[in-house]
Amino acid sequence: MFLWFAGLSFLIVAKVFVSPVIDYRLVILGAVLPTIEMFIGGPWILHTLVSPVTLMAIVMLAFMGKRLRQRKWLGLPIGMFFYLVLDRAWTRTSMFWWPISGFDIQNMGTPEWETVPILVLMEVIGLSAIAYSVKTYKLFGKDERTLFITKGHIKRTNMARKE
């Protein structure tokens, strides 16, 4: 489930924050980072609320007084928060609230209702979100694509809300 997290986190953050200077590459990285645990026998700590909260505190403290750097690096914990939302992590309360729920962090596995057809549907939705984002923010254009690849930004004129 890579496209589900990458596509929807990018689209939601772009629509909610409407900021051309967020590093959307870091939002996407933060949204897919916890999936690494699934390849090493997880889910574990990256599936808890403490991970993005701690990372956000580190970013805020590390770049105190450097607002632009804070803004750039906040994309990583924001992406991790969106992972928790899109993964429905709160449904596994003892893991989500670790260490408040106890210090024994056990591998809870994935929710039982995630069947192959549902996973495929989620990936199709994620791919659709990516396609919609590319079209909406004109990321197919050379200048826009270069800006996104090199800085993670979206051109300001492409971010304007259409009302």
DSSP string, 104-143: ------S-TT--HHHHHHHHHHHHHHHHHHHHHTTTTSHH
Mean predicted lDDT score pLDDT of the chain? 86
Cis amide linkage into residue 117, ω under 30° from 0: no
Higher pLDDT, 158 or 6: 6
Q: Is residue 23 assigned to a domain?
A: yes
Q: Is residue 126 assigned to a domain?
A: yes
- Is the pLDDT confidence value at 160 over 90? no
> Looking at the 3D structure of the chain, how many domains does it have?
1
Q: Is residue 163 assigned to a domain?
A: no
Q: Cα dihedral sign for 143, 149, 152, 158? A: positive
Q: Is residue 143 assigned to a domain?
A: yes
Which range of residues forms the domain containing residue 35?
A: 3-104+112-158
Among residues 42, 75, 67, the alpha carbon closest in space to that of 148 is found at 75
Cα–Cα dist 88/159, whole Å: 28
pLDDT classification of 163: cutoffs 50, 70, 90: very low
- Is the pLDDT confidence value at 25 over 60? yes
Beta strands in 28-92 (DSSP E): none
Higher pLDDT, 105 or 82: 82
Q: Please report the pLDDT score of residue 161 as a whole number.
A: 59
Instruction: Select the highest-mean-pLDDT range: 39-53, 61-75, 109-123.
Output: 61-75
Question: pLDDT tens across 62-86, in order?
Answer: 999 998 889 889 999 999 999 999 9
Q: Is residue 86 assigned to a domain?
A: yes
Higher pLDDT, 62 or 42: 62
- Is the pLDDT confidence value at 110 over 60? no
Cα–Cα dist 46/117, whole Å: 25
pLDDT classification of 39: cutoffs 50, 70, 90: confident
Q: Is residue 60 assigned to a domain?
A: yes
